[in-house]
């Protein structure tokens, strides 16, 4: 399985092409649209979410709600393009009128300056930010929604939520009271901030409101859990076959993500091996399993069969309504950085994006390991493999 996305933030369309999804998977546009809505409806988002109503159109690869095995093309229309048709016109030369929204003062922490240097966009840094914008993640969520549907049909569940925003942190120990990931989903999705409990949700909302009044931004941490994942996905034989490494790359590849760990690895740096390693147990019903899950579901770059636990650190958004110092790339005179319409925080939406990136990597691993031409054949092979692993 592989995919590519295309489109600019204020261009007419966002597009993704997925190759490698097996034939015979039932899927509808509603499966995708539900996930796109989750990305949009998050506390702390900016004014653009009042303009966009993200819905997907299938352009290829699906007939009568079934995948064909051929490349799947997904399309999401940018409603805001109506306000940018002249500025983003692809078939018109640049004029004074259609370059009025030039960006010449790069934002600290954004791709503006280095992207301009790399691609020689010295006339207008908008050529950088239009693609480097997090608007592109709408298509990663769309691709991830296809991956999630495939995984769900194979008994694998994935869900992301917010652990903290700024100094406000939820108590992850509350997760132990739930018997299934679906129960966690019901709770966290009931809160506007995707927090773990009502008290934390209220505190995060207060913090975001205060941050907005201060014309500032705030970061945080998200967590993604995956259950039902069989042991043995990924491999120890080469660095580029380790599945945890692939997930780490996928998470840090999301706009504004700066760090990732598995289990509670950031905290393990202060502990001893006897406090961290997951002891191995065996039962006739389960086969081999672990007494704990401190490793976050991975050993040697391979899944252990335990729950996958991934945490990601999200930096504050670099677009500030109280802009920081910058330098005009044309005159080299110091100015305040440019301002683009932005969110107060991306954390509440980032949990959804991270969830879908983990789903993509898990789906890739499944499709690498088993026959991916036909979905029912894949399902049969996975069932046999699960039994083999259990009886090892």
The reply to whether 105 sits in an annotated binding site is no
CA distance 267 to 153: 35
The reply to whether 318 sits in an annotated binding site is yes
- Into how many domains does the chain fold? 1
Percentage above 70 pLDDT, the chain: 98
What's the average model confidence in pLDDT over 100-119? 95
The reply to whether 148 sits in an annotated binding site is no
The reply to whether 24 sits in an annotated binding site is no
| pLDDT single digits (tens) 5-18 | 999 999 999 999 99
The reply to whether 316 sits in an annotated binding site is yes
Q: Which two tokens stand for residue 315?
A: 């930096």
50 — pLDDT class (breaks 50, 70, 90): low
**Burial of 266 per CB tally in 10 Å (0-12, 13-18, 19+):** middle
| DSSP secondary structure string for all residues of 23-37 | BT-B--HHHHHHHHH
pLDDT the model gives residue 340:
80
| pLDDT single digits (tens) 309-328 | 999 999 999 988 899 999 99
pLDDT the model gives residue 47:
65
What's the average model confidence in pLDDT over 361-379? 97
49 — pLDDT class (breaks 50, 70, 90): low
Torsion of CA 21, 309, 137, 132, to 10 degrees: -120
Residue 348 belongs to what H/E stretch? helix 347-369
Higher-pLDDT residue of 50 and 143 is 143
The reply to whether 63 sits in an annotated binding site is no
Query: Domain holding 184: CATH number?
Result: 3.60.150.10
pLDDT the model gives residue 294:
96
pLDDT of residue 53 exceeding 90: no
**Contact yes or no for 232/389 (Cβ under 8 A):** yes
Q: Where are the beta strands (DSSP E) in the chain?
A: 2-6, 13-19, 56-60, 62-63, 66-67, 72-77, 157-165, 168-169, 220-227, 257-262, 280-283, 287-290, 298-299, 302-303, 308-314, 325-327, 334-336
The reply to whether 341 sits in an annotated binding site is yes
pLDDT of residue 51 exceeding 90: no
- Count CA within 13 A, CB hemisphere, residue 270: 3
- Count CA within 13 A, CB hemisphere, residue 242: 12
**Contact yes or no for 166/203 (Cβ under 8 A):** no
pLDDT the model gives residue 124:
95
**Contact yes or no for 228/186 (Cβ under 8 A):** no
73 phi/psi in degrees, rounded to 5: -105, 125
Percentage above 90 pLDDT, the chain: 93
**Contact yes or no for 75/59 (Cβ under 8 A):** yes
The reply to whether 132 sits in an annotated binding site is yes
CA distance 17 to 296: 31
The reply to whether 256 sits in an annotated binding site is yes
The reply to whether 319 sits in an annotated binding site is yes
Sign of the Cα torsion 111, 244, 265, 144 reads positive
100 — pLDDT class (breaks 50, 70, 90): confident
The reply to whether 144 sits in an annotated binding site is no
Helix (H, G, I), strand (E, B) or coil at 377: helix
Domain of residue 81 covers 2-390
339 — pLDDT class (breaks 50, 70, 90): confident
| pLDDT single digits (tens) 229-276 | 999 999 999 999 999 999 999 999 999 999 999 998 999 999 999 999
């Amino acid at each position: 399985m592989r995919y590519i996305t295309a489109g600019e933030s204020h261009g007419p369309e966002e597009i993704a092409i997925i190759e490698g999804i097996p034939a015979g998977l039932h899927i509808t546009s509603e499966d995708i649209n539900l996930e796109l809505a989750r990305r949009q409806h998050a506390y702390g988002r900016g004014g653009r979410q009042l303009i966009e109503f993200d819905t997907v159109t299938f352009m290829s690869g699906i007939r009568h709600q079934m995948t064909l095995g051929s490349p799947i093309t997904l399309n999401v229309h940018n409603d805001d393009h109506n306000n940018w048709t002249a500025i983003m016109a692809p078939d018109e030369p640049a004029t004074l009128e259609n370059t009025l929204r030039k960006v010449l003062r790069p934002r600290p922490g954004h791709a503006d300056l280095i992207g301009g240097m790399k691609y020689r966009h010295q006339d207008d840094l908008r050529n950088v930010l239009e693609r480097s914008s997090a608007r592109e993640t709408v298509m990663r969520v769309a691709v991830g929604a296809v991956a999630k549907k495939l995984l769900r049909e194979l008994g694998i569940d994935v869900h992301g939520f917010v652990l903290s925003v700024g100094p406000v942190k939820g108590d992850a120990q509350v997760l132990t009271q739930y018997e299934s990931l679906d129960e966690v989903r019901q709770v966290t999705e009931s809160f506007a901030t995707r927090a773990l409990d009502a008290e934390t949700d209220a505190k995060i909302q207060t913090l975001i409101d205060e941050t907005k009044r201060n014309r500032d931004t705030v970061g945080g941490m998200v967590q993604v859990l995956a259950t039902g994942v069989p042991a043995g996905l990924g491999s120890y034989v080469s660095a580029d076959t380790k599945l945890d490494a692939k997930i780490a790359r996928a998470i840090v590849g999301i706009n504004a993500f700066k760090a990732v760990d598995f289990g509670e690895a950031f905290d393990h740096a202060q502990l001893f091996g006897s406090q961290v390693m997951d002891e191995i147990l065996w039962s006739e019903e389960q086969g081999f399993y672990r007494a704990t899950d401190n490793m976050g579901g991975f050993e040697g770059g391979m899944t252990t069969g335990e729950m996958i636990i991934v945490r990601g650190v999200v930096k504050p958004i670099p677009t500030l309504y109280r802009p920081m110092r910058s330098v005009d790339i044309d005159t080299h005179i110091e100015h305040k950085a440019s301002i683009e319409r932005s969110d107060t925080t991306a954390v509440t939406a980032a949990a959804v994006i991270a969830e879908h990136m983990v789903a993509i990597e898990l789906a890739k691993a499944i499709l690498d390991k088993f026959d991916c031409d036909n979905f029912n054949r894949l399902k049969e092979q996975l069932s046999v493999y699960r039994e083999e692993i259990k009886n090892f």
